[in-house]
Amino acid sequence: MEKFDKTIYGVIAGLILPIIGFFISYPIKKLPTTSFSEYVDYAMAGDNQQDILIFCLIPNMFLFYFTNFRWNTYNLTKGLVGVTLVLGVLLFIITM
């Protein structure tokens, strides 16, 4: 695991995992007749906008648990936490 203990890997994972989380949230949170493009529009301006966008950050939290507490890859964790904090601030600004 030590060869992956670089901050850049944490940044990359922190940017990719929310996208994967968004795709995972689609079958979980969509309405029965909603297409994917409608879901994207709903996520950007709908009533549950904040819920959907927070759900996208859950994969980052899972990876944080493993990188910080199980694998002890602290540099990777720094990159992951930095990106997650920036995304959290952007989420706050977007949903205000």
pLDDT surpasses 80 at 1: no
pLDDT in tens, 72-89: 999 999 999 999 999 999
Confirm whether pTM is higher than 0.75: yes
pLDDT band at 8 (very low <50, low <70, confident <90, very high): very high
**What is the average per-residue pLDDT within 63-79?**
96
Residue 57 dihedral angles phi and psi, to the nearest 5°:
-85, -10
Q: Note the pLDDT of residue 38.
A: 93
Angle subtended by helix axes 58-65 and 7-29, to nearest 10:
130
